[in-house]
Structure 1
Amino acid sequence: MPKKKPSSKSMIVSFQEPAPSIPDKSPIVVGKGGEISISIQVKPGAKTDAITDVSDTAVGVQISAPPVDGEANTAIVKYFAELLKVKKTDVSLKGGKSRQKTILVAPTAALTVDGVLALLKSEQQQR
């Protein structure tokens, strides 16, 4: 039996648009659920609340609250909620007693990785 030539319909190739480019090294990433994850390095017991550094691996944060009974963790959540202009209930914290923590921000239409990174860098420069 002779072989059939492939029809032109079966030769259609579809192209997908490339995903938006996110830098390979960034302390801010988008999770599977759309939440924004920010890796932070915390210095509790400082004089003021501020962003001290934005590097490829983490965002340096100093918090005036002492690291006692979760006071610093509560202050971090409040500080990031005010900074990102979201409700405190939209911000959560992972990391417990460690100085390396992760801030999780619930997905909102107003926040993007680039927008959060720019906001953190401008906050750092105001210091």
Structure 2
Amino acid sequence: MHGIRHLYRSFVSTAIMSSKKQANSKKSSGKTTATNTDNNKPATVGAVSVNKAGEIVLRIHAKPGAKQNGITDLSAEAIGVQIAAPPVDGEANSELVKYMSKVLQLRKSDVSLDRGSKSREKVLLVGKNTIDIDRATQLIKTECENG
């Protein structure tokens, strides 16, 4: 248990330092793009971006246990998604992937959970060449407005 706490604290402090570095680099350069060499990291910063592998990256703030599925908000940091499934045994994760594939008008197999299986902050990947980023953003905004 102590090892898990240490890893969590290390992860949190790394995330805080990383966000401070991004804030400082935005102040100095005014740019919102990041240069990453890892293929799973996004090439741009934001809720909807494209990684170097050409996959669309969706940053999700999940809200499990809702009465119905829906997109609650779209910010620069994440897409707020309420999920009508409890956060037990991966039910909310499965429902999230199913719901987002429906929103994006894709097959369920085209959308996958990349990170955050046990967290509210999740990262979904949309398969390469299935939809472009502008269309994905448009569909998400439309779903958010329709509630």
- Normalization by structure 2: what TM-score? 0.67
> Would you say 1:98 and 2:94 are equivalent positions?
no
Query: Alignment length, in residue pairs?
Result: 104
Aligned-pair identity (%): 47
Letter in 2 for 1:98: S
Alpha-carbon offset, residue 125 of structure 1: 0.6
Q: Give the SS at the match of 2:49.
A: strand
- CA offsets, 1:76-126, max 9 Å, x none? 0100111111111111112111000001000125x1212111111111110
Residue range with higher mean Cα deviation, 36-45 or 77-86: 77-86
Aligned position for 1:49 = 69
Q: Give the SS at the match of 1:47.
A: coil
Aligned position for 2:35 = none
Aligned position for 1:74 = 94
Residue range with higher mean Cα deviation, 100-109 or 71-80: 100-109
Deviation >3 Å, runs of 4+: none
Letter in 2 for 1:37: V
Q: Which has the higher helix share?
A: 2
Note the 1:1-127 alignment, pairs <5 A. 24=32, 25-93=45-113, 94-109=115-130, 111-127=131-147
- Normalization by structure 1: what TM-score? 0.77
Measure the CA separation in 1 of the matches of 2:105 and 2:144: 17
Measure the CA separation in 1 of the matches of 2:144 and 2:110: 23
CA RMSD, Structure 1 to Structure 2 (Å): 1.4
Alpha-carbon offset, residue 59 of structure 1: 0.3
Q: Which has the higher contact order (CA 8 A, sep 6+)?
A: 1
Alpha-carbon offset, residue 33 of structure 1: 1.1
Measure the CA separation in 1 of the matches of 2:143 and 2:105: 13
Measure the CA separation in 1 of the matches of 2:139 and 2:46: 14
Aligned position for 2:10 = none
